[in-house]
Amino acid sequence: MKPPSHDLAFLPVRNEVPIQLDAAELGVSVEDIKRARDRRHVHRNRAARRRGTLLWLLIGPGILVMLGENDGPSMISYATTGAAYGVGFFLPFILLTFAMAYVVQEMTVRLGAATKRGHAELIYERFGRFWGFFSMADLVIGNLLTLVTEFIAIRAGLGFFGVPPVAAVLGALVVNVGVVLTQRYWTWERVVLGFAVFNLIFVPVAILAHPVSTAQVLHSFLAWGPLPGGFTNGFILVVMADIGATVTPWMLFFQQSAVVDKGLTTADIRHGRIDTALGAAAAAVAAIATVIATTPLFLHHVAASNLAGADFARALVPYAGNIGATLFALGLFEAGLVASLTISLSSAYAFGEVTESARSLNRPLRDGWPFYTVLMAAAAIAAILVLIPNAPLVFITLIVNVIAVLAMPPAIVFLLLLVNDREIMGGFANSRLSNFFGISVTVLLVLAGILFGITTVFPKLLPT
């Protein structure tokens, strides 16, 4: 007998005649039932050893967090990198930053699967009310400013095709609200994954631009250089921008909470690692392709400082053709859209976890209205700010970069403390090797932040 779609639990009795009981009488929520149905599919495919189907069911959070971080400002950062420095130093450097991102995000997978708690919730429980609310407020404010830059990217990408700013921004907002109103994590995840795949659209742009040979690209990874212009303030700024394009605080909160919302268990940690590695690899390919695609601007001495948003697409027309420029603009739109969907959700997760209210896309709208309100309000406020005439959008973008630089080291310190807490992690706590990599990433980020701070306060220390 096929169960109906409403909230009923079915219990077998003698002669296999099912008795229907209301889920509420059993203390089971709609959220629990939806997640249990997803887990039933996982269990069946694991028992049947259908490895391909099992991987398909379990991937999602890792790919989304990595491709979500390849957002509009990130792709512009990579485009600026290629236009300013070519394929020498920065191709292996970008690969290194995604390796750093994998180290950090793998810890969030284990943390979410082992504790069944989101990142903000664990900070609240383990370090107290103050740090819980501080981390939530810091994330929400930083995310709001970042969301503004995502809608700027959406506006710029569609502006290439002559779409008016109001139509572009409001259309993207409608997509955000529509996907959320499915009220099902699985559906939301699959829809956003469908959008995220188009981040790889920058690969054909690089092929169409073909500024350098494959041998030159491979040589840049092996030789790690040269560095045109030397060690300057401009170089440090690009380094910080590329780090901020790969490792940011919202990623910790999003992936850990998504792991919990998806219902992953400790048995799924291996697949969570594969998911995260696939996401890091795909995002690195897209980022490197963007650098390669804009290298013709470097080779032909086109000033990258004069370019922003869709200007890169227009500048690529002589080198990648109209098709390449069109794909670049579409990629910029996709990057902003996917990031707006994932970043706004990370804010809602953190709010629900700290306020001990609803924090799942599996929760019905009537029960989880505070969660959904925060989620949709974050996107709506950012969209409105982008449409304000003469809004200081460039200033907002700079503030976002500063917040990312300042917020990431403390966020990783909290993460390291949590994954080393054997009371909550048990046998899934960090090994010595994991701590070595995690601490190394933290030290590198701190040193990069210090270097950026020193050169910002004392710009005359380095040549311009």
Q: Which has the higher per-residue pLDDT, 25 or 121?
A: 121
Q: Which residue has the tokens 């991102």?
A: 101
Q: What is the pLDDT of residue 277?
A: 97
Whether 309 has a pLDDT exceeding 70, the answer reads no
Q: Which has the higher per-residue pLDDT, 232 or 116?
A: 116
- For residues 204 and 174, state if they share a domain: yes
Count of structural domains, the chain: 2
Q: Mean of the per-residue pLDDT values for the chain?
A: 85
What Å distances lie between residue 238 and 74, 232, 378, 445, CA to CA? 11, 10, 28, 14
- For residues 72 and 114, state if they share a domain: yes
- For residues 86 and 38, state if they share a domain: no
Asked, for residue 56, whether it belongs to a domain, the answer is: no
- For residues 14 and 161, state if they share a domain: no
- For residues 21 and 108, state if they share a domain: no
Asked, for residue 217, whether it belongs to a domain, the answer is: yes
Q: Which two tokens stand for residue 326?
A: 């069109």
- For residues 13 and 146, state if they share a domain: no
Closest by Cα among 179, 217, 214 to 91: 217
Closest by Cα among 148, 189, 193 to 172: 148
Asked, for residue 282, whether it belongs to a domain, the answer is: yes
Asked if residue 143 lies in contact with residue 457, where contact means CB atoms within 8 angstroms, the answer is: no
What Å distances lie between residue 51 and 89, 262, 297, 451, CA to CA? 39, 18, 45, 46
Q: What is the mean pLDDT of residues 38-59?
A: 89
Q: What is the mean pLDDT of residues 172-191?
A: 91
Whether 44 has a pLDDT exceeding 80, the answer reads yes
**10 beta partners:** 20
- For residues 114 and 44, state if they share a domain: no
Domain assignment of residue 159, given as a range: 62-461
Q: What is the pLDDT of residue 122?
A: 93
Residue 120 belongs to a domain with what CATH number? Answer: 1.20.1740.10
Q: What is the mean pLDDT of residues 20-48?
A: 75
Using DSSP, state whether 391 is helix, strand or coil: coil
Q: What percent of the chain has pLDDT over 90?
A: 47
One-letter identity of residue 58: L
Asked, for residue 38, whether it belongs to a domain, the answer is: yes
Asked, for residue 109, whether it belongs to a domain, the answer is: yes
> Could you tell me the sign of the dihedral formed by the alpha carbons of 309, 328, 240, 434, in that order?
positive
CA distance linking residue 295 with residue 83, whole number of Å? 5
Asked, for residue 55, whether it belongs to a domain, the answer is: no
Whether 456 has a pLDDT exceeding 80, the answer reads no
Q: Which has the higher per-residue pLDDT, 201 or 220?
A: 201
- For residues 375 and 319, state if they share a domain: yes
Q: What percent of the chain has pLDDT over 70?
A: 86
CA distance linking residue 417 with residue 415, whole number of Å? 5
Cα of 339 vs its chain's centroid, Å: 6
Element (H, E) at 460: none
Asked, for residue 167, whether it belongs to a domain, the answer is: yes
Q: What is the mean pLDDT of residues 30-49?
A: 85
Whether 24 has a pLDDT exceeding 70, the answer reads no
CA distance linking residue 299 with residue 455, whole number of Å? 28
**350 beta partners:** none
pTM: 0.88
Lowest-pLDDT range of 74-88, 277-291, 293-307, 391-405 = 391-405
Asked if residue 127 lies in contact with residue 264, where contact means CB atoms within 8 angstroms, the answer is: no
- For residues 31 and 143, state if they share a domain: no
Helices (H), 160-268: 165-180, 185-196, 202-209, 214-223, 233-244, 249-262
Whether 17 has a pLDDT exceeding 70, the answer reads no
- For residues 11 and 131, state if they share a domain: no
Q: What is the pLDDT of residues 214-273, one digit of tens each?
A: 888 888 888 776 677 667 777 888 888 888 888 888 999 999 999 999 999 999 999 999
Element (H, E) at 138: helix 129-159
- For residues 4 and 85, state if they share a domain: no
Q: What is the pLDDT of residue 97?
A: 93
Asked, for residue 57, whether it belongs to a domain, the answer is: no
- For residues 17 and 129, state if they share a domain: no
C-alpha torsion angle, residues 280, 281, 285, 286 (rounded to 10): -40
Whether 104 has a pLDDT exceeding 60, the answer reads yes
Q: What is the pLDDT of residues 69-87, one digit of tens each?
A: 998 888 888 988 888 888 8
